[in-house]
Amino acid sequence: MSAEYKVDGSIAVITLNNPPVNGLGHATRHAIVEGMKQAQNNDAVKAIIITGAGKAFSGGADIKEFNSPKAFAEPSLHTVISVIESSDKPVIAAIHSVAMGGGLELALGCHYRVASPGAQIALPEVKLGILPGAGGTQRLPRVVGLELALNMIVSGTPIASEKLAKTALFNELAEGDLMAAATAFAHKVADVRPLPKVRDIKIDYPNYEAFLQFSRNTVRAMSGPFPAPLKCVEAVAAAVTKKFDDGIKFERDLFLELVQTTESKALRHAFFGERAASKLPDVPDDTPTRPVKSVAVIGAGTMGGGIAMNFANAGIPVQILEMKQEALDKGLATIRKNYENTLKKGKLTQEKFEQRVALITGTLSYEAIAQADMVIEAVFEDMGVKEQVFKKLDEVMKPGAILASNTSTLDVDKIADFTKRPQDVVGTHFFSPANVMKLLEIVRGKKTAKDVLATVLAISKKIKKTGVVSGVCDGFIGNRMIEQYSRQAGFLLEEGCTPEQVDKAVEKLGFAMGPFRMGDLAGNDIGWYIRKRRYVEKPHITYSKTADLLCELGRFGQKTGAGWYDYKPGDRKAYPSAVVNDMIVKHSADLGIERRKISDQEIVERLIYSLVNEAAYILEEGIATRASDIDMVYLTGYGFPLHTGGPMFYADTVGLPNVVRAMEKYAKGRHGDAWKPAPLLAKLAEEGKTFN
């Protein structure tokens, strides 16, 4: 049953029962209408309560249905709400835990609302690239006021029910048992007529035009490529400027328009992608996890410090181990400074600041960390150094401790084999700055135990990361793909581009940063170091030598004040560099390449399709579990534009046959061998299928 109906004396109760969050899918909507009919037809019933079973009143419309006609099949959410609103018996929403989106809209269609404190109240549709499409933009301003409603709808941010207690949204906040309070309330209002309807409330905001214009300007400046936020303002504006039914129709039209946009499809893809990433087909949801109540981090450098902060932020004590007191002191001082900056910006209370700083302690002794439940190594990226660390960890750590490596490219199986407990070894690849970036690549070794994976996935949620599992290969999912992207970026310089032109082309698409600005930020020496290893290990792979020439000039990026761009002291702005541009032109001449004008389209296609092709190999080899995992890696770790849904979703949107056709064209150019379509990509394109 997706909603249950029962009668208790003179009160009928309709309980939404569609786990996990009582999404208002077709069956649930149908069951609500059936319940309402039964209650209407039963003379003994004097009032009706609608509530939700389990962990939510309702999380809103069933987002999974949006791609199918079921989403709009009758009874639509509109119909359900009008059946409730036009009922001649009072309907009371008994709200607990979560009332979001269509769930809140359903409650707004009821005559009364009783809520538990702590319930999360939101119209979060904008986060899915749509707007509330079942009356939310018309009814919420009528009960909480124009300004608060507009803020809630444009931001989508949840507000705790008790913070809305002074508004007309709730008739009562129930401190004790919600159903007892709702039932008592129902008895009290059973005979009260006329029945109050939110639609009849007048919005009193004399200066609304100025306020709406100010909102339009602000929201337009903030919403980038997403159309939904501005449409939210227009829909809320209709609540003041139009009659209620016209406002509802206006809102409905905007909703139907937005739900079809690529931006909304991409955001919905990311919503489900994030949740899917936490699941592994062979690690069931009920796999027991190991308790992680304390953590140790090896290395107090930038990475180690950032990693430690994640755990302290989640209330978990962390010990940082260093070899020398000086390095340890420096690392701890940096962490303190980071927290002080957050405190100064007002993003942390003094109490939380002190708590977090106190949770991070330092040590020089391996014995001191032996009882930690999990240890994360963040030392220099060199197999010899890793060997020493893991042999020592194997010696000192208590049985059952999780031994994790923050390696970004090295073989986790090899690292595991330095210990006598490879089942406890796993990769946890954080992205810099580790306390900020959302992505955590969890690297599954051949022998990594399932409970270790389940634990690390759970921990990643606890420290608010998007955990994505990768198999072992050089570079794992993210860096293995970025290598192809960087290679193409290098070839583009040889053939006629400047770093600025390449960066601008992808930044126009919405990338946070193009490859060269990114290199300058991360440090060009890191790639140089990796390439030098590759020249020995994989001599058949070709790279542009431009990046090596740059490094030979000591231009490692922002940290040396010069990289692909010039920098001024204390200023992160990138200025095109005549030295670099001359160097690039000379290099082309040395190679005998006649430089040509290259279009932005070619730049974007070559960069993105090189990512996509490598990703197809990664998927086929089982390194990634699903295409959406690859999208999540790129959306949360590499600044891939959110409105495109990630590289795989982007390729699906372009159409895989079109991707393959473009690759065939580039295969005729220099380094054509890089453009051989991966078998999976070729197959899907031929069958007219998609990755996702």
What length is written for the chain? 692
Q: What kind and span of H or E run contains 93?
A: strand 91-95
Q: Considering the complex, what minimum distance in angstroms separates the CB of residue 154 from ligand 3H9?
A: 14
Distance (Å) of CA 51 to CA 20, 65, 104, 164: 15, 22, 12, 19
Distance (Å) of CA 421 to CA 296, 400, 416, 425, 445: 18, 9, 7, 7, 12
The residue type of 163 is K
How far is C-alpha 114 from the chain's CA centre? 32
Q: Which is nearer to ligand 3H9, 405 or 692 (CB)?
A: 692
Distance (Å) of CA 477 to CA 354, 449, 517, 617, 622: 37, 20, 22, 10, 11
Residue 664 known to be catalytic: no
Range in contact with ligand 3H9 (rule: CB under 6 A) among 3-11, 56-64, 181-189, 214-222: 56-64
Instruction: Report 58-77 residues binding ligand 3H9 (CB under 6 A).
Output: 59-64, 77
Strands 3-8 and 11-16: antiparallel
Q: Which is nearer to ligand 3H9, 359 or 469 (CB)?
A: 469
Cβ burial of 79 (10 Å; 0-12, 13-18, 19+) is middle
Q: Is residue 152 a contact residue for ligand 3H9 (CB under 6 A)? A: no
Q: Considering the complex, what minimum distance in angstroms separates the CB of residue 520 from ligand 3H9?
A: 37
Q: Which is nearer to ligand 3H9, 74 or 340 (CB)?
A: 74
DSSP 8-class letter at 676 = P
Q: Which is nearer to ligand 3H9, 77 or 328 (CB)?
A: 77
Q: Which is nearer to ligand 3H9, 63 or 469 (CB)?
A: 63
DSSP 8-class letter at 167 = S
Q: Which is nearer to ligand 3H9, 37 or 64 (CB)?
A: 64
Q: Which is nearer to ligand 3H9, 125 or 413 (CB)?
A: 125
State how far the Cα of 220 lies from the Cα of 234, in Å rounded to an integer.
Answer: 11
Q: Considering the complex, what minimum distance in angstroms separates the CB of residue 111 from ligand 3H9?
A: 20
Instruction: Report 76-105 residues binding ligand 3H9 (CB under 6 A).
Output: 77, 98, 100-102, 105
Q: Considering the complex, what minimum distance in angstroms separates the CB of residue 24 from ligand 3H9?
A: 7
Give the strand order in the sheet containing 439-443. 360-363, 318-321, 295-298, 374-377, 402-405, 425-430, 439-443, 466-470
Binding-residue pattern over the window 15 to 54 for ligand 3H9, x denoting contact by CB under 6 A: -----xx-x-------------------------------
Q: Considering the complex, what minimum distance in angstroms separates the CB of residue 63 from ligand 3H9?
A: 4
Binding-residue pattern over the window 107 to 146 for ligand 3H9, x denoting contact by CB under 6 A: -----------------xx--x---xxx-x----------
Binding-residue pattern over the window 661 to 680 for ligand 3H9, x denoting contact by CB under 6 A: --------------------
Q: Which is nearer to ligand 3H9, 20 or 346 (CB)?
A: 20
Distance (Å) of CA 175 to CA 56, 170, 180: 17, 13, 11
Instruction: Report 195-254 residues binding ligand 3H9 (CB under 6 A).
Output: none
Proportion of the chain in helix, strand, coil states, percent, rounded to 5:
55, 10, 35
State how far the Cα of 190 lies from the Cα of 92, in Å rounded to an integer.
Answer: 10
Q: Which is nearer to ligand 3H9, 20 or 281 (CB)?
A: 20
The SS3 call for residue 61 is coil
Give the contacts of 83 (CB within 8 A, at least 6 positions apart).
32, 33, 36, 75
H/E/C letters for each residue in 518-552?
HHHHHCHHHHHHHHHHHHHHCCCCCCCCHHHHHHH
Distance (Å) of CA 285 to CA 71, 282, 625: 28, 9, 16
Residue 500 known to be catalytic: no
Q: Which is nearer to ligand 3H9, 330 or 462 (CB)?
A: 462
Helical packing angle, 627-637 and 476-495, nearest 10°:
70
State how far the Cα of 135 lies from the Cα of 133, in Å rounded to an integer.
Answer: 6
Instruction: Report 251-290 residues binding ligand 3H9 (CB under 6 A).
Output: 272, 275
Q: Which is nearer to ligand 3H9, 101 or 499 (CB)?
A: 101
H/E/C letters for each residue in 575-593?
EECHHHHHHHHHHHHHHCC
Q: Considering the complex, what minimum distance in angstroms separates the CB of residue 284 from ligand 3H9?
A: 13
Distance (Å) of CA 611 to CA 201, 424, 489, 496, 602: 54, 32, 12, 21, 14
Which one from 4, 65, 85, 105 is the annotated catalytic residue? Answer: 105
DSSP 8-class letter at 156 = -
Which one from 85, 125, 263, 605 is the annotated catalytic residue? Answer: 125
The footprint of ligand 3H9 on this chain (CB under 6 A) covers a number of residues equal to: 25
State how far the Cα of 414 lies from the Cα of 427, in Å rounded to an integer.
Answer: 11
State how far the Cα of 78 lies from the Cα of 232, in Å rounded to an integer.
Answer: 18
DSSP 8-class letter at 126 = G
Q: Considering the complex, what minimum distance in angstroms separates the CB of residue 49 from ligand 3H9?
A: 21
CB–CB of 3/40 below 8 Å?
Answer: no
Q: Considering the complex, what minimum distance in angstroms separates the CB of residue 406 from ligand 3H9?
A: 26
Q: Considering the complex, what minimum distance in angstroms separates the CB of residue 90 from ligand 3H9?
A: 24
Among 363, 398, 137, CA closest to 292 = 398
Strands 295-298 and 172-173: unpaired
Q: Considering the complex, what minimum distance in angstroms separates the CB of residue 493 from ligand 3H9?
A: 43
Q: Considering the complex, what minimum distance in angstroms separates the CB of residue 322 from ligand 3H9?
A: 36
Among 614, 292, 585, 336, CA closest to 455 = 292
* Closest residue to ligand 3H9: CB criterion: 101
Q: Considering the complex, what minimum distance in angstroms separates the CB of residue 98 from ligand 3H9?
A: 5
Q: Which is nearer to ligand 3H9, 20 or 622 (CB)?
A: 20
Q: What are the residue numbers of the active site?
A: 105, 125
Instruction: Give me the residues that bind ligand 3H9 (CB under 6 A), please.
Output: 20-21, 23, 56, 59-64, 77, 98, 100-102, 105, 124-125, 128, 132-134, 136, 272, 275
